[in-house]
Amino acid sequence: MMERRMLLKRIVIFIIAGVITYFSCSIYMGYQPPSISAATYRWGSRGSVVTEIQRRLKNWGYYNGSVDGIYGYQTYLAVRKFQAKNGLAVDGIVGSRTLSALGINAGTNSAYSASNSHTLISRAINGEARGEPYIGQVAVGGVILNRTRDPRFPNSVAGVIYQPGAFTAITDGQIHAEMVATSQRAARDALNGWDPSGGAIYYFNPAKTTNKWIWSRPLIKVIGSHRFCR
């Protein structure tokens, strides 16, 4: 009888140990660590990325609250305004597409940042200068990059492109027009250092502009339909 009890006890212990091992393995195998690239920021989020979101929205005139790293109601409203203005889903949630439009890389991948800059400049060139001579398309990319180095303008590609009122393509939605191949090549040439604009920080089309002030800027050169100025 004693031996039978000991056998049953060992069987029960074996079964319990097996069940514990099964569930432990299931939990471990089912676990997936969070991906940086899939990070989203929404009402209630906190931290340095939220601070950067607020800073950029404030610089571009979308946000009037404190840059405190706390995603509250005012940040939510500002994000929605930015999304509506730039053809994004208007949900008040900063996911990968909105982060990209803001020019923010929540990770540390420099290759991603370079790719993001290329995409934004390509879109800006496509919206502003498709149909212009190729050298003129590269010159528009040069102006964008020249502004990032000028203290009078934002110091990032996204900041320059999305600065309120800076580019007609943002206002009329042409930044989302179907991409042509030359726009992408022109952006790459500009990023590689070619600046046919001669250091310009402004350009305009005399046949289309209604801005009288822009005519006061010193002319550097004319390329296609655009006048490039200091």
- Predicted TM-score (pTM) above 0.85: no
Compute the average pLDDT of residues 9-19: 57
Q: Sheet of 226-229: strands edge to edge? A: 202-204, 226-229, 219-223
Q: Identify the CATH class of 113-229.
A: mainly alpha
Is there a shared CATH topology between the 36-102 domain and the 113-229 domain?
A: no
Count of CB atoms situated within 10 Å of the CB of 12: 10
> Each residue of 191-202: pLDDT tens digit?
999 999 999 999
Domain at 36-102: CATH architecture: Orthogonal Bundle (1.10)
> Each residue of 52-109: pLDDT tens digit?
899 889 988 899 999 999 999 999 999 999 999 888 899 999 998 898 888 776 554 4
Q: Give the three-state DSSP class for 46.
A: strand
Domain ranges of the chain: 36-102, 113-229
CA distance 95 to 89: 10
- The structure tokens listed for 118 are 């290329």
